């Protein structure tokens, strides 16, 4: 059976070249602690320096600080908590968008609960774009931090960060702007100077690099506090031993992504567009979540399949070798559907049937053809089973139908 | 705010999800019950053909996760050919066991299925004036659970749509 992986947004496989780049650092060289001046330590330090340079190159910056962490969640926590606590004397207002990832929203909420910060969530329009006029109104003298993701991890909306930063800095030049660019990294150019932003989160495991390594870029002069405490070695802001083999892999994954930029994006965008147009054109009762065109991440597609529940569809597709994710409540700890889909105005029953397809460079036309064919069959099968059928009004909780007339 | 969670489904659940038994509507059902709603993300319909107080035939439809589909299908297998009383006595826990144990967060799927079936049986007995001394006058756990579940979901829905609904209501009052 063909296997098609369409979930790099939640993590992914590692390219063979990346794995090869990592291997020696487990047992041949550079396996020491980079803070110790022996040869295996110094070789590790070389990797650390080299990958720092690569990240700066990828972000088109030459004077930022790079802090390597264990995951994008940690980088976002360091940005939100590390900045806010170190600068709390300047003010206590933090602004985020309502469609941020949990690793941005939860630390902000934690700061509000534990330290009395005021967290303002800016609403988005039906395509997921931050309402800039609302953002403008909410910037006060007290606002120390704004965190708005560059490309949304679920519906692919690419925010106009340049316009956002202009509005923010115009109202309060002291306000620092962080952007979780984890999903956008290697899919749209990121340049902190051009965008006017101060901190950026990027990660390895979404760009076909290994798990366990992420980076936070912080402009020089942005004062951060530690969120982890222990023996400081290579990185003053982040105690602990760096994951050097994973760093080497991250560096390789960045190198590959930079070297095939145009051709990779053209190819993936083409495959994504085919998948999108054919699903919307050939499968009934489908809704596109998020924008069309250049304002959408080229590898992101999110579609709601009505009359089908997303977890069931995810499992059904998996049994057919197709691996996707859903924003349905049924895969969630609190049994609530995705807050991103609710924020753009989707009804619960629309969010429950949502499927996130996140594409990558190693897909072929044949893979996409296979997905379309299998998807049609899978949706049809589950719609046959479904108690919620097209043309039938949404049944209110507690309503009971009697007799044999149901469903006609 | 939603966070994901890992789901460990038994082989039985995946097998029934793949090949559901007794699936589809029934044209000449004596009683039909629909519980849950698309907004909840879970919705089960049961169609029962009853003869001499015995469930002669039972089919289901399910909009919901794999556990929901498997639970509904398994319950039809457990009740087909049973008397109304025997079917009534099946608890959500027994259904859960038959499914090889659902993940804790999916317990409501078996409660929803059993609650829906109990509602169908109660309705049938009331409508046909059948003497059923075994039928508790008060609602049992699963019937309550189904209703509690709605309330929770409704509340959540209200909270999210809160501002919009409030303005509509205030307009009405004016």
The interface predicted TM-score of the complex, written ipTM, equals 0.83
Instruction: Give the separation between CA B47 and CA A404, rounded to whole angstroms.
Output: 8
Check CB contact under 8 Å for A315 and B63.
Answer: no
Instruction: Give the separation between CA A174 and CA A85, rounded to whole angstroms.
Output: 16
Instruction: Nearest by CB to A395, from B37, B60, B147: name it.
Output: B37
- State the number of CA atoms in the 13 A half-sphere of B98 facing the CB: 19
B65 is catalytic: no
Q: Are strands A322-323 and A214-219 parallel, antiparallel or unpaired?
A: unpaired
Domains delineated in chain A: 16-258 (3.40.640.10), 261-385 (3.90.1150.10)
> Which tokens hold the place of A168?
């923010």
Comparing CA positions, the residue from B93, B86, B88, B55 lying closest to residue B71 is B93
Among the listed residues B45, B109, B121, B146, the single catalytic one is B109
Check CB contact under 8 Å for A333 and B5.
Answer: yes
> Which tokens hold the place of A32?
């020491």
**Cβ of residue B49 closer than 8 Å to a chain A Cβ:** no
A399: which chain B residues are within 8 Å (Cβ-Cβ)?
34
The nearest CA of chain A is from the CA of B146 a distance in Å of 8
**pLDDT of the residue at A334:** 60
Indicate the pLDDT class of residue B155, thresholds 50, 70 and 90.
low
Instruction: Give the separation between CA A29 and CA A256, rounded to whole angstroms.
Output: 22
Instruction: Choose the weakest-confidence range: A162-171, A225-234, A256-265, A323-332.
Output: A323-332
Give me chain B's average pLDDT, please.
85
Element (H, E) at B48: strand B42-51
**Cβ of residue B107 closer than 8 Å to a chain A Cβ:** no
Beta-sheet strand order (sheet of A325-326): A286-288, A300-305, A354-358, A325-326
A330 is catalytic: yes
Give me chain A's average pLDDT, please.
93
The SS3 call for residue A133 is helix
The nearest CA of chain A is from the CA of B173 a distance in Å of 24
- The answer on pLDDT for A63 being more than 90 is no
**pLDDT of the residue at B154:** 59
A99: which chain B residues are within 8 Å (Cβ-Cβ)?
none
What are the backbone angles phi and psi of residue A276, rounded to the nearest 5°? Answer: -65, -55
Check CB contact under 8 Å for A404 and B64.
Answer: no
Instruction: Nearest by CB to B33, from A311, A331, A400: name it.
Output: A400
- Does B11-173 carry CATH code 3.40.50.280? no
- Residue-wise pLDDT for B84-134, tens only, equals 999 999 999 999 999 999 888 888 889 999 999 999 999 999 999 999 999
In chain B, count H helices and then E strands: 6, 3
Residues A342, A348, A352, A357: is their CA dihedral positive or negative? negative
Report the residue of B13, B35, B38 to disrupt the A interface, i.e. the one with the largest count of A CBs within 10 Å.
Answer: B38
**Cβ of residue A103 closer than 8 Å to a chain B Cβ:** no
**Residue spans of beta strands (DSSP E) within A22-80:** 64-69
Greater pLDDT, B138 or A407: B138
Domain extent listing, chain B: 11-173
Contact of A371 with A275, CB cutoff 8 Å: yes
Residue A118 β-bridge partners? A93
Among the listed residues A56, A132, A188, A330, the single catalytic one is A330
**pLDDT of the residue at B3:** 62
Q: At what angle do helices A365-385 and A310-319 cross, to 10 degrees?
A: 130
Contact of A183 with A9, CB cutoff 8 Å: yes
Q: Any idea what DSSP says for residue A252? A: H
**pLDDT of the residue at A333:** 58
Report the residue of B39, B148, B160 to disrupt the A interface, i.e. the one with the largest count of A CBs within 10 Å.
Answer: B39
Q: Any idea what DSSP says for residue B120? A: H
Indicate the pLDDT class of residue B156, thresholds 50, 70 and 90.
low
> Which tokens hold the place of A101?
């990832």
Residues 6 or more apart whose Cβ sits within 8 Å of residue A393 = none
Check CB contact under 8 Å for A348 and B65.
Answer: no
A406: which chain B residues are within 8 Å (Cβ-Cβ)?
25, 29, 32, 34, 45, 47
Contact of B1 with B34, CB cutoff 8 Å: no
**pLDDT of the residue at B8:** 85
A348: which chain B residues are within 8 Å (Cβ-Cβ)?
38-41, 157
B32: which chain A residues are within 8 Å (Cβ-Cβ)?
401-404, 406
Given the structure tokens 């749209």, which residue do they identify? A188
pTM of the predicted model as reported, rounded to 2 decimal places = 0.90
**Residue spans of beta strands (DSSP E) within A8-157:** 64-69, 93-97, 118-122, 143-147
How much is the average pLDDT of A167-175? Answer: 97
The nearest CA of chain B is from the CA of A347 a distance in Å of 7
């Amino acid at each position: 059976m063909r296997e098609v992986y369409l979930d790099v947004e939640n993590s992914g496989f590692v390219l063979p070249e990346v794995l090869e780049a990592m291997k020696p650092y487990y047992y041949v060289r550079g396996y020491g602690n980079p803070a110790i001046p022996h040869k295996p330590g110094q070789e590790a330090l070389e990797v650390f320096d080299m990958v720092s340079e690569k990240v700066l190159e990828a972000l088109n910056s030459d004077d930022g600080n790079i802090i390597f962490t264990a995951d994008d969640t940690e980088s976002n926590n360091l940005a939100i908590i590390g900045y806010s606590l170190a600068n709390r004397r300047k003010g206590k207002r933090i602004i985020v968008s309502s469609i941020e990832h949990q690793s941005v929203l939860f630390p902000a909420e934690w700061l509000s609960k534990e330290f009395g910060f005021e967290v303002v969530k800016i609403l988005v329009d039906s395509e997921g774009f931050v309402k800039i006029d609302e953002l403008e109104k909410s910037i006060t003298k007290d606002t120390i931090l704004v965190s708005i993701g560059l490309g949304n991890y679920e519906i692919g909306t690419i925010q106009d960060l340049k316009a956002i930063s202009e509005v923010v800095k115009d109202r309060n030049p002291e306000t620092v702007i962080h952007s979780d660019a984890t999903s956008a990294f290697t899919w749209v150019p990121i340049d902190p100077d051009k965008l006017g932003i101060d901190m950026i989160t990027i990660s390895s495991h979404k760009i076909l690099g290994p798990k366990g390594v992420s980076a936070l870029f912080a402009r020089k002069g942005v004062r951060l506090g530690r969120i982890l405490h222990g023996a400081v070695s290579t990185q003053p802001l982040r105690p602990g031993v760096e994951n050097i083999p994973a760093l080497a892999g991250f560096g390789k994954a960045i190198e590959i992504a930079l070297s095939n930029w145009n051709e990779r994006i053209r190819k993936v965008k083409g495959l994504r567009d085919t998948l999108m147009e054919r699903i919307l054109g050939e499968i009934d009762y489908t809704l596109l979540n998020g924008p069309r065109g250049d304002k959408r991440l080229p590898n992101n597609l999110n579609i709601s399949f009505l009359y089908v529940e997303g977890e069931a569809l995810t499992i059904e597709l998996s049994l057919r070798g197709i691996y996707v994710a859903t924003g349905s409540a049924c895969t969630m700890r609190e049994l609530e559907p995705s807050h991103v889909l609710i924020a753009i105005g989707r009804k619960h029953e629309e969010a429950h049937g949502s499927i996130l397809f996140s594409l990558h460079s190693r897909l072929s036309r044949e893979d996409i053809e296979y997905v379309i064919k299998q998807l049609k069959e899978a949706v049809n099968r589950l719609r046959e089973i479904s108690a919620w059928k097209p043309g039938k009004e949404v049944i209110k909780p507690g309503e009971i139908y009697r007799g044999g007339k149901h469903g006609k | 705010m939603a966070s994901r969670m890992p789901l460990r489904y038994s082989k039985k659940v995946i097998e029934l999800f793949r090949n559901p038994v007794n699936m589809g509507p029934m044209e000449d059902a004596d009683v039909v019950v629909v519980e849950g709603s698309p907004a909840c993300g879970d919705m089960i319909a049961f169609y029962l053909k009853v003869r001499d107080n015995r469930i002669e035939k039972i089919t289901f439809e399910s909009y919901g996760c794999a556990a929901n589909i498997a639970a509904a299908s398994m319950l039809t297998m457990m009740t087909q050919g049973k008397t109304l009383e025997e079917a009534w006595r099946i608890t959500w826990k027994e259904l859960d066991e038959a499914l090889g144990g659902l993940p804790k967060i999916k317990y409501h799927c078996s409660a929803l299925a059993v609650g829906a079936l109990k509602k169908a049986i109660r309705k049938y007995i009331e409508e046909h004036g059948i003497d059923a001394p075994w039928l508790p006058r008060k609602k049992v756990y699963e019937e309550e659970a189904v209703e509690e579940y709605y309330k929770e979901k409704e509340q959540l829905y209200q909270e999210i749509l809160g501002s919009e609904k409030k303005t509509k209501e205030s307009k009405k009052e004016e």
